[in-house]
Structure 1
Amino acid sequence: MPSIPQIIHALQTVLNESAEAAAHATGFVQRSRRLSGAQFVQTVVASWLAYPDASYETMVGVAADLGVSISPQAFAERFTSAAVATLAQVLAATMRQALSAQPAVVPLLDRFVAVEVRDSTTIALPDVLADHFQGCGGSRTHSTAALKAQFRWELRSGKLDGPLLQDGRASDRALEFRERGVKGTLHLRDLGYWH
Protein backbone atom coordinates (compact mmCIF):
# COMPACT_ATOMS: atom_id res chain seq x y z
CA MET A 1 0.00 0.00 0.00
CA PRO A 2 1.45 3.38 -0.96
CA SER A 3 2.29 5.93 1.70
CA ILE A 4 0.67 9.38 1.93
CA PRO A 5 3.79 11.11 0.49
CA GLN A 6 3.74 8.67 -2.46
CA ILE A 7 0.06 9.42 -3.11
CA ILE A 8 0.67 13.17 -2.91
CA HIS A 9 3.60 12.88 -5.32
CA ALA A 10 1.52 10.81 -7.76
CA LEU A 11 -1.36 13.32 -7.67
CA GLN A 12 0.99 16.27 -8.16
CA THR A 13 2.62 14.51 -11.10
CA VAL A 14 -0.70 13.75 -12.79
CA LEU A 15 -2.36 17.11 -12.11
CA ASN A 16 0.70 19.16 -13.10
CA GLU A 17 3.27 17.49 -15.37
CA SER A 18 0.93 14.96 -17.02
CA ALA A 19 -1.78 17.60 -17.50
CA GLU A 20 0.64 20.07 -19.12
CA ALA A 21 2.13 17.38 -21.37
CA ALA A 22 -1.35 16.22 -22.42
CA ALA A 23 -2.51 19.79 -23.10
CA HIS A 24 0.45 20.41 -25.41
CA ALA A 25 0.22 16.99 -27.10
CA THR A 26 -3.47 17.43 -27.93
CA GLY A 27 -3.17 21.04 -29.03
CA PHE A 28 -5.32 22.28 -26.14
CA VAL A 29 -2.49 24.69 -25.28
CA GLN A 30 -0.48 25.90 -28.25
CA ARG A 31 1.19 28.90 -26.65
CA SER A 32 1.42 30.51 -23.24
CA ARG A 33 -2.13 31.34 -22.11
CA ARG A 34 -3.84 32.70 -19.05
CA LEU A 35 -5.33 29.22 -18.52
CA SER A 36 -2.66 26.51 -18.58
CA GLY A 37 -3.40 22.86 -19.23
CA ALA A 38 -2.73 22.02 -15.59
CA GLN A 39 -5.05 24.79 -14.37
CA PHE A 40 -7.83 23.62 -16.72
CA VAL A 41 -7.51 19.99 -15.59
CA GLN A 42 -7.29 20.94 -11.91
CA THR A 43 -10.36 23.18 -12.25
CA VAL A 44 -12.44 20.51 -13.99
CA VAL A 45 -11.37 17.72 -11.61
CA ALA A 46 -11.89 19.77 -8.44
CA SER A 47 -15.23 21.14 -9.68
CA TRP A 48 -16.66 17.77 -10.65
CA LEU A 49 -15.37 16.08 -7.51
CA ALA A 50 -17.15 18.61 -5.32
CA TYR A 51 -20.16 19.22 -7.59
CA PRO A 52 -20.84 16.53 -10.23
CA ASP A 53 -23.30 18.89 -11.98
CA ALA A 54 -21.02 21.93 -11.68
CA SER A 55 -21.97 24.90 -13.84
CA TYR A 56 -19.43 27.04 -15.67
CA GLU A 57 -19.96 29.67 -12.97
CA THR A 58 -18.94 27.11 -10.33
CA MET A 59 -15.90 26.10 -12.36
CA VAL A 60 -14.86 29.73 -12.75
CA GLY A 61 -15.02 30.05 -8.94
CA VAL A 62 -12.72 27.04 -8.58
CA ALA A 63 -10.41 28.49 -11.24
CA ALA A 64 -10.27 31.73 -9.22
CA ASP A 65 -9.09 29.70 -6.21
CA LEU A 66 -6.23 28.53 -8.45
CA GLY A 67 -5.38 32.12 -9.35
CA VAL A 68 -7.06 32.17 -12.76
CA SER A 69 -9.40 34.99 -13.76
CA ILE A 70 -11.71 33.85 -16.57
CA SER A 71 -15.36 34.43 -17.48
CA PRO A 72 -17.88 31.55 -17.57
CA GLN A 73 -18.28 32.06 -21.33
CA ALA A 74 -14.52 31.94 -21.95
CA PHE A 75 -14.23 28.82 -19.79
CA ALA A 76 -17.12 27.17 -21.67
CA GLU A 77 -15.37 27.89 -24.96
CA ARG A 78 -12.36 25.87 -23.75
CA PHE A 79 -14.47 22.67 -23.80
CA THR A 80 -13.33 21.49 -27.24
CA SER A 81 -12.27 18.16 -28.72
CA ALA A 82 -8.72 19.01 -27.62
CA ALA A 83 -9.98 19.52 -24.04
CA VAL A 84 -11.68 16.12 -24.11
CA ALA A 85 -8.50 14.50 -25.48
CA THR A 86 -6.47 16.24 -22.76
CA LEU A 87 -8.77 14.96 -20.01
CA ALA A 88 -8.66 11.46 -21.52
CA GLN A 89 -4.84 11.47 -21.48
CA VAL A 90 -4.81 12.69 -17.89
CA LEU A 91 -7.26 9.92 -16.95
CA ALA A 92 -4.93 7.37 -18.55
CA ALA A 93 -1.94 8.82 -16.66
CA THR A 94 -3.95 8.68 -13.44
CA MET A 95 -4.84 5.04 -14.00
CA ARG A 96 -1.20 4.16 -14.66
CA GLN A 97 -0.26 5.84 -11.36
CA ALA A 98 -3.12 4.36 -9.35
CA LEU A 99 -3.22 0.83 -10.63
CA SER A 100 0.38 -0.17 -11.19
CA ALA A 101 0.19 -3.22 -9.01
CA GLN A 102 2.36 -5.97 -7.70
CA PRO A 103 1.94 -9.30 -9.47
CA ALA A 104 -0.41 -11.77 -7.83
CA VAL A 105 1.41 -14.65 -6.15
CA VAL A 106 -1.05 -17.53 -6.24
CA PRO A 107 0.28 -21.01 -7.06
CA LEU A 108 -2.92 -21.84 -8.97
CA LEU A 109 -2.07 -19.14 -11.52
CA ASP A 110 1.21 -20.90 -12.38
CA ARG A 111 -0.81 -23.25 -14.62
CA PHE A 112 -1.35 -20.44 -17.11
CA VAL A 113 1.00 -18.41 -19.28
CA ALA A 114 -1.00 -15.32 -18.26
CA VAL A 115 -4.21 -14.53 -16.37
CA GLU A 116 -6.03 -11.63 -18.00
CA VAL A 117 -8.92 -9.84 -16.27
CA ARG A 118 -10.86 -7.50 -18.53
CA ASP A 119 -13.69 -5.23 -17.50
CA SER A 120 -15.24 -1.87 -18.18
CA THR A 121 -17.00 0.82 -16.23
CA THR A 122 -19.41 3.51 -17.38
CA ILE A 123 -19.16 6.99 -15.92
CA ALA A 124 -21.94 9.57 -16.33
CA LEU A 125 -20.59 12.90 -17.57
CA PRO A 126 -22.04 16.40 -17.68
CA ASP A 127 -24.43 16.80 -20.62
CA VAL A 128 -22.10 19.38 -22.21
CA LEU A 129 -19.84 16.45 -23.23
CA ALA A 130 -22.60 14.57 -25.13
CA ASP A 131 -21.04 15.52 -28.49
CA HIS A 132 -17.84 13.73 -27.45
CA PHE A 133 -19.16 10.78 -25.42
CA GLN A 134 -22.77 9.70 -26.03
CA GLY A 135 -24.69 8.33 -23.09
CA CYS A 136 -27.81 6.21 -22.97
CA GLY A 137 -30.63 8.70 -22.48
CA GLY A 138 -31.78 11.75 -20.63
CA SER A 139 -33.17 10.57 -17.29
CA ARG A 140 -31.48 10.86 -13.90
CA THR A 141 -30.16 7.30 -14.19
CA HIS A 142 -29.25 7.55 -17.88
CA SER A 143 -27.14 10.53 -18.85
CA THR A 144 -27.00 12.01 -22.34
CA ALA A 145 -23.21 11.99 -21.92
CA ALA A 146 -21.31 9.01 -20.58
CA LEU A 147 -17.86 7.52 -20.94
CA LYS A 148 -17.03 3.83 -20.98
CA ALA A 149 -13.49 2.96 -19.86
CA GLN A 150 -12.10 -0.51 -20.52
CA PHE A 151 -9.19 -2.07 -18.70
CA ARG A 152 -7.14 -5.21 -19.04
CA TRP A 153 -5.09 -6.40 -16.08
CA GLU A 154 -2.65 -9.28 -16.30
CA LEU A 155 -2.55 -10.75 -12.79
CA ARG A 156 0.72 -12.66 -13.00
CA SER A 157 2.81 -9.68 -14.11
CA GLY A 158 0.68 -6.86 -12.67
CA LYS A 159 0.60 -5.13 -16.08
CA LEU A 160 -2.38 -2.83 -16.62
CA ASP A 161 -3.57 -1.84 -20.10
CA GLY A 162 -6.04 0.96 -20.57
CA PRO A 163 -8.15 2.75 -20.15
CA LEU A 164 -9.58 2.53 -23.64
CA LEU A 165 -12.26 5.22 -23.82
CA GLN A 166 -15.47 5.12 -25.84
CA ASP A 167 -19.08 6.28 -25.80
CA GLY A 168 -20.98 5.15 -22.73
CA ARG A 169 -23.65 3.55 -24.90
CA ALA A 170 -21.15 1.32 -26.76
CA SER A 171 -20.95 -2.42 -26.27
CA ASP A 172 -18.05 -3.85 -24.27
CA ARG A 173 -16.99 -5.68 -27.44
CA ALA A 174 -16.92 -2.48 -29.56
CA LEU A 175 -13.30 -1.69 -28.70
CA GLU A 176 -10.34 -4.06 -28.63
CA PHE A 177 -6.85 -3.79 -27.22
CA ARG A 178 -4.13 -3.95 -29.88
CA GLU A 179 -2.20 -6.79 -28.29
CA ARG A 180 -3.91 -10.15 -28.25
CA GLY A 181 -3.42 -12.60 -25.42
CA VAL A 182 -0.99 -15.43 -26.03
CA LYS A 183 -1.93 -19.10 -26.20
CA GLY A 184 -2.31 -20.55 -22.72
CA THR A 185 -3.84 -17.38 -21.25
CA LEU A 186 -6.80 -17.61 -18.87
CA HIS A 187 -9.30 -14.88 -19.82
CA LEU A 188 -11.67 -13.59 -17.12
CA ARG A 189 -14.47 -11.36 -18.45
CA ASP A 190 -18.09 -10.67 -17.66
CA LEU A 191 -20.94 -11.57 -20.01
CA GLY A 192 -20.88 -8.16 -21.71
CA TYR A 193 -17.90 -9.40 -23.74
CA TRP A 194 -19.60 -12.59 -24.97
CA HIS A 195 -23.03 -11.53 -26.25
Structure 2
Amino acid sequence: MDASPLNSKGRYEDDNQTAGNVLGITDMTPWDGATGCNFSAEQKQDVGRVILVKWGDVTRKIGIDGSSAAIKEAIRNAFRLRSKRSFWLEDGDGVVRSLDRAMPLTTYTLHVDLGVTIKIYQYDECNQHVVSSEDATLYSEEDFRELLSRLGWRALREVGTYKDVESIAELREDVAYHHSGFKT
Protein backbone atom coordinates (compact mmCIF):
# COMPACT_ATOMS: atom_id res chain seq x y z
CA MET A 1 0.00 0.00 0.00
CA ASP A 2 0.92 3.62 -0.45
CA ALA A 3 2.61 5.22 2.57
CA SER A 4 0.51 8.43 2.28
CA PRO A 5 -2.88 8.64 4.00
CA LEU A 6 -4.54 8.80 0.59
CA ASN A 7 -4.02 5.98 -1.86
CA SER A 8 -3.78 6.47 -5.61
CA LYS A 9 -7.55 6.11 -6.06
CA GLY A 10 -8.30 9.11 -3.80
CA ARG A 11 -9.69 6.95 -0.97
CA TYR A 12 -8.75 6.98 2.67
CA GLU A 13 -6.84 3.97 3.92
CA ASP A 14 -9.02 3.90 7.02
CA ASP A 15 -12.67 4.48 6.05
CA ASN A 16 -13.38 5.71 9.58
CA GLN A 17 -11.18 8.78 9.11
CA THR A 18 -12.42 12.06 7.66
CA ALA A 19 -10.48 14.18 5.21
CA GLY A 20 -9.98 16.79 7.93
CA ASN A 21 -8.52 14.26 10.37
CA VAL A 22 -6.25 12.74 7.75
CA LEU A 23 -4.93 16.12 6.61
CA GLY A 24 -4.81 17.57 10.12
CA ILE A 25 -7.05 20.59 9.48
CA THR A 26 -9.92 20.05 11.89
CA ASP A 27 -9.10 23.11 14.00
CA MET A 28 -9.04 25.60 11.10
CA THR A 29 -11.82 28.11 10.61
CA PRO A 30 -13.38 28.68 7.18
CA TRP A 31 -11.49 31.22 5.10
CA ASP A 32 -12.99 33.59 2.60
CA GLY A 33 -10.23 34.11 0.06
CA ALA A 34 -12.09 36.93 -1.69
CA THR A 35 -12.14 39.18 1.37
CA GLY A 36 -9.28 37.63 3.34
CA CYS A 37 -11.46 37.17 6.43
CA ASN A 38 -11.83 34.24 8.78
CA PHE A 39 -15.43 33.38 9.61
CA SER A 40 -16.07 31.33 12.70
CA ALA A 41 -19.36 29.70 13.66
CA GLU A 42 -19.83 32.34 16.38
CA GLN A 43 -19.56 35.18 13.86
CA LYS A 44 -22.17 33.60 11.58
CA GLN A 45 -24.59 33.29 14.48
CA ASP A 46 -24.37 37.04 15.09
CA VAL A 47 -26.08 37.65 11.74
CA GLY A 48 -29.47 36.87 13.29
CA ARG A 49 -32.57 35.48 11.60
CA VAL A 50 -32.33 35.87 7.83
CA ILE A 51 -34.72 34.96 5.01
CA LEU A 52 -34.09 34.96 1.27
CA VAL A 53 -36.47 37.03 -0.85
CA LYS A 54 -36.62 36.67 -4.64
CA TRP A 55 -38.14 39.13 -7.09
CA GLY A 56 -37.54 38.21 -10.70
CA ASP A 57 -33.84 37.45 -11.11
CA VAL A 58 -32.84 39.33 -7.95
CA THR A 59 -32.43 37.60 -4.57
CA ARG A 60 -31.70 39.48 -1.36
CA LYS A 61 -31.02 38.39 2.22
CA ILE A 62 -33.37 40.15 4.65
CA GLY A 63 -32.87 40.20 8.42
CA ILE A 64 -36.10 39.61 10.31
CA ASP A 65 -34.95 40.43 13.84
CA GLY A 66 -36.81 43.77 13.87
CA SER A 67 -40.46 44.76 14.01
CA SER A 68 -42.90 44.09 11.17
CA ALA A 69 -42.52 47.70 10.04
CA ALA A 70 -38.71 47.37 10.04
CA ILE A 71 -38.86 44.14 8.00
CA LYS A 72 -41.22 45.81 5.52
CA GLU A 73 -38.90 48.82 5.21
CA ALA A 74 -35.88 46.53 4.72
CA ILE A 75 -37.66 44.76 1.85
CA ARG A 76 -38.70 48.09 0.29
CA ASN A 77 -35.11 49.35 0.44
CA ALA A 78 -33.51 46.09 -0.73
CA PHE A 79 -35.66 46.01 -3.86
CA ARG A 80 -35.89 49.81 -4.31
CA LEU A 81 -39.69 49.93 -4.04
CA ARG A 82 -40.18 53.70 -3.99
CA SER A 83 -43.94 53.90 -4.35
CA LYS A 84 -46.79 53.26 -1.96
CA ARG A 85 -47.44 49.93 -3.66
CA SER A 86 -48.32 47.13 -1.32
CA PHE A 87 -46.45 43.83 -1.49
CA TRP A 88 -46.48 40.42 0.10
CA LEU A 89 -44.24 37.37 0.47
CA GLU A 90 -45.21 33.87 -0.56
CA ASP A 91 -43.27 30.75 0.40
CA GLY A 92 -42.58 27.74 -1.83
CA ASP A 93 -45.88 26.12 -0.82
CA GLY A 94 -47.87 29.17 -1.96
CA VAL A 95 -48.55 30.38 1.59
CA VAL A 96 -48.66 34.15 2.00
CA ARG A 97 -46.74 35.03 5.16
CA SER A 98 -47.05 37.91 7.57
CA LEU A 99 -43.86 39.87 8.08
CA ASP A 100 -42.65 39.10 11.58
CA ARG A 101 -39.81 37.60 13.59
CA ALA A 102 -41.50 34.19 13.68
CA MET A 103 -41.36 33.73 9.89
CA PRO A 104 -39.86 30.39 8.86
CA LEU A 105 -36.28 30.81 7.61
CA THR A 106 -36.76 29.89 3.97
CA THR A 107 -36.89 31.44 0.50
CA TYR A 108 -39.85 33.66 -0.36
CA THR A 109 -41.12 35.18 -3.60
CA LEU A 110 -41.92 38.89 -3.50
CA HIS A 111 -45.23 39.89 -5.10
CA VAL A 112 -45.88 43.58 -5.75
CA ASP A 113 -49.37 45.05 -6.16
CA LEU A 114 -49.95 45.97 -9.79
CA GLY A 115 -52.50 48.61 -8.80
CA VAL A 116 -55.68 49.53 -10.66
CA THR A 117 -55.22 51.14 -14.08
CA ILE A 118 -58.09 53.26 -15.35
CA LYS A 119 -58.70 55.74 -18.17
CA ILE A 120 -59.96 59.20 -17.27
CA TYR A 121 -61.73 61.40 -19.80
CA GLN A 122 -62.29 65.12 -19.36
CA TYR A 123 -65.12 66.61 -21.39
CA ASP A 124 -65.92 70.11 -22.54
CA GLU A 125 -68.96 70.77 -20.34
CA CYS A 126 -70.77 72.81 -23.01
CA ASN A 127 -70.80 70.37 -25.91
CA GLN A 128 -69.63 67.13 -24.20
CA HIS A 129 -66.62 66.53 -26.47
CA VAL A 130 -63.53 64.85 -25.06
CA VAL A 131 -60.95 67.51 -24.25
CA SER A 132 -58.31 65.21 -22.84
CA SER A 133 -57.73 61.73 -21.52
CA GLU A 134 -55.15 60.11 -19.30
CA ASP A 135 -54.30 56.71 -17.93
CA ALA A 136 -53.89 56.49 -14.18
CA THR A 137 -52.56 53.60 -12.10
CA LEU A 138 -53.62 53.83 -8.47
CA TYR A 139 -52.20 51.80 -5.60
CA SER A 140 -53.93 53.16 -2.53
CA GLU A 141 -56.88 55.20 -1.32
CA GLU A 142 -54.45 58.08 -0.86
CA ASP A 143 -53.52 57.89 -4.57
CA PHE A 144 -57.22 57.97 -5.47
CA ARG A 145 -57.83 61.02 -3.24
CA GLU A 146 -54.80 62.82 -4.74
CA LEU A 147 -56.15 62.18 -8.26
CA LEU A 148 -59.58 63.57 -7.39
CA SER A 149 -57.99 66.57 -5.68
CA ARG A 150 -55.74 67.29 -8.67
CA LEU A 151 -58.76 67.16 -11.00
CA GLY A 152 -60.91 69.17 -8.59
CA TRP A 153 -63.49 66.38 -8.50
CA ARG A 154 -65.29 64.73 -5.62
CA ALA A 155 -65.94 61.40 -7.41
CA LEU A 156 -65.57 59.62 -10.74
CA ARG A 157 -68.37 58.24 -12.88
CA GLU A 158 -67.99 55.11 -14.96
CA VAL A 159 -68.46 56.00 -18.66
CA GLY A 160 -71.87 54.85 -19.93
CA THR A 161 -73.41 54.54 -16.46
CA TYR A 162 -74.64 56.73 -13.64
CA LYS A 163 -72.55 54.93 -11.04
CA ASP A 164 -70.41 57.34 -9.01
CA VAL A 165 -67.15 55.97 -7.61
CA GLU A 166 -65.92 57.51 -4.37
CA SER A 167 -63.32 54.92 -3.30
CA ILE A 168 -60.50 52.96 -4.90
CA ALA A 169 -62.26 49.76 -3.80
CA GLU A 170 -65.08 50.57 -6.24
CA LEU A 171 -62.79 51.03 -9.26
CA ARG A 172 -62.66 48.38 -11.95
CA GLU A 173 -59.51 47.57 -13.92
CA ASP A 174 -59.27 48.98 -17.48
CA VAL A 175 -62.58 50.86 -17.24
CA ALA A 176 -63.05 54.44 -18.44
CA TYR A 177 -64.23 57.12 -16.02
CA HIS A 178 -65.14 60.77 -16.28
CA HIS A 179 -66.30 63.64 -14.07
CA SER A 180 -69.28 62.67 -11.95
CA GLY A 181 -70.86 66.09 -12.04
CA PHE A 182 -69.87 66.84 -8.45
CA LYS A 183 -66.95 69.23 -8.06
CA THR A 184 -65.13 69.97 -4.82
TM exceeds 0.5? no
Structure with larger RCO (C-alpha < 8 A, sep 6+): 1
If the length of structure 1 is used for normalisation, what is the TM-score? Answer: 0.25
If the length of structure 2 is used for normalisation, what is the TM-score? Answer: 0.26
Which has more strand, going by share of residues? Answer: 2
Computing the radius of gyration from Cα coordinates, the structure with the larger value is 2
Which has more helix, going by share of residues? Answer: 1
